[in-house]
Amino acid sequence: MTAAPEPPFDWDALHTAARDAMSHAYAPYSGYPVGAAATVDDGRVVTGCNVENASYGIGLCAECGLVSQLQATGGGRLTHFVCVDGRGETLVPCGRCRQLLFEFGGGKLLLDTPDGVRTLDEMLPQAFGPGHLA
Ligand SMILES: O=c1ccn([C@H]2C[C@H](O)[C@@H](CO)O2)c(=O)[nH]1
């Protein structure tokens, strides 16, 4: 007997989670709320929103909250990721956040982007990571 094919990944549900996170953003300075959501290899969904500060440079990207929630709720590896802007449109993560994601998802992490689904290897080529410190 052959195994049943895997159902397609539910990107819509992840977008919904990212939009919900975005609705909690604190972005009074940029006026640019962001929400991020990712699945974990055990099936959990973790989310984050950007949290700005009167000291502008120390504002936290949505992905910072996401990786913090990942660790605080048991860790694991990220498998699928999406972030959205204030209109709920798919956004690309900033460069620093690609590095944050690399730590917890590696190059095979799948990101939904405005140009379609991409691996993190494609979005952050030749990434510096934990392997360099081994
Ligand atoms: O990947 C990104 C890019 C930007 N921002 C936030 C930072 C800042 O609060 C606002 C405008 O740059 O968007 C994120 O949360 N994640």
Answer yes or no: is pLDDT of 1 > 80.
no
What confidence tier does 124 reach under pLDDT thresholds 50, 70, 90?
Answer: very high
Core vs surface per residue 42-72: b (16+ CB within 10 A) or e: eeebbbbbbbbeeeeeebebbbbbbbebbee
Which residues, at least 6 apart from 26, have a Cβ–Cβ distance to it below 8 Å? 49, 50, 51, 52
What ipTM was estimated for this complex?
Answer: 0.99
Q: By percentage, how much of the chain surpasses pLDDT 90?
A: 95
Q: What is the CATH number of domain 11-122?
A: 3.40.140.10
Of 1 and 113, the structure prediction assigns the larger pLDDT to 113
- At residue 133, the pLDDT reads 97
Closest CA to 37 of 59, 16, 23: 16
56 is in an annotated binding site: yes
C-alpha 82 – ligand 1 centre gap (Å): 13
Ligand 1 atom closest to the CA of 91, numbered from 1? 1
55 is in an annotated binding site: yes
Q: Is the CB–ligand 1 distance for residue 27 below 6 Å?
A: yes
Would you kindly state where each structural domain of the chain is located, as residue ranges? 11-122
Closest Cα to atom 5, ligand 1: which residue? Answer: 61
Closest CA to 117 of 10, 20, 28: 10
